[in-house]
Amino acid sequence: MKTTFIMHAAKEIQQTILANENTLESLDRAIGDGDHYINMKRGAQAIVDIETELAVLSPEAALNKIGLKLLSTIGGASGPLLASFFMSMGKALQSHEGESHLKIANAFAAGVQAIIQRGKANLGEKTMLDVLIPVSNQFLLLAQQNSDTALICKGLIETAELGMLATQDLIATKGRAAGLGERAIGHIDPGAKSCQLMITSVCNLILKS
């Protein structure tokens, strides 16, 4: 993973978030606090705005700086969670030498584990983790099988969509939606949707390159 790719991915994610404003706002109005899209938009813009600062850093340092920027930019619960993801991913990349799919998969897994620990949540609780955990597991599996880049990307896109759609049938146990009980059933979690969108946009960027 190179810093130039991280920046290309950041710009792709920003455009994806902007293009899905109506979807994210609609989902968040139904079961959230109503500020998810604004926070994601603000965070994505903040990362793009520090492109010059990131360009001179190693990938590990760039991911850490992105985490710190998100921590100071995004309000609510999302800021600390996403910050933990990027900072833990950067730390994991630094501790593994070489360049391989498995190295990146392990770093992604470390980032997801940080969200689990920080948010005290897990699979099946109608959160972003219902996308991130299955994607992380699939990424590790495909990387361990020495799958090629295209197969990995397609597998992650499919897994992210399935995880996102699965939140529709779940009862939330975290955040504002937890207070809705069974009334949250039938609604996709906005955090899961935004994660699905981001993962898909990055994978499609790789497939096009």
- Mean pLDDT value of segment 84-92: 95
Give SS3 for 182.
helix
pLDDT value at 61 more than 80: yes
pLDDT per residue over 104-113, tens digit each? 999 999 999 9
Domain residue ranges of the chain, discontinuous segments joined by +: 3-208
- Mean pLDDT value of segment 9-27: 93
**Superfamily designation of domain 3-208:** DhaL domain (1.25.40.340)
* Entry pTM: 0.91
User: What is the pLDDT, as a whole number, of residue 184?
Assistant: 62
pLDDT value at 88 more than 90: yes
Listed residue (32, 8, 9) closest to 193, CA to CA? 32
For the ranges 41-45, 99-103, 172-176, the maximum mean pLDDT occurs at 41-45
Alpha-helical segments (H) within 32-128? 36-49, 51-55, 59-73, 78-95, 101-119
- Cα–chain center distance at 118: 15
pLDDT value at 160 more than 90: yes
Residues 6+ apart with CB under 8 A from 121: 115, 127, 129, 173, 174
Say which residue, 93 or 203, is predicted with more confidence: 203
User: What is the pLDDT, as a whole number, of residue 200?
Assistant: 97
Mean pLDDT of the chain: 90
Q: How many Å apart are CA 9 and CA 31, to the nearest integer?
A: 29
Tokens found for residue 148: 């090629």
Percent residues over pLDDT 70 in the chain = 92
Tokens found for residue 96: 């593994």
Say which residue, 178 or 88, is predicted with more confidence: 88
User: What is the pLDDT, as a whole number, of residue 11?
Assistant: 96
Say which residue, 156 or 32, is predicted with more confidence: 156
Single-letter residue type at 67: G
User: What is the pLDDT, as a whole number, of residue 89?
Assistant: 95
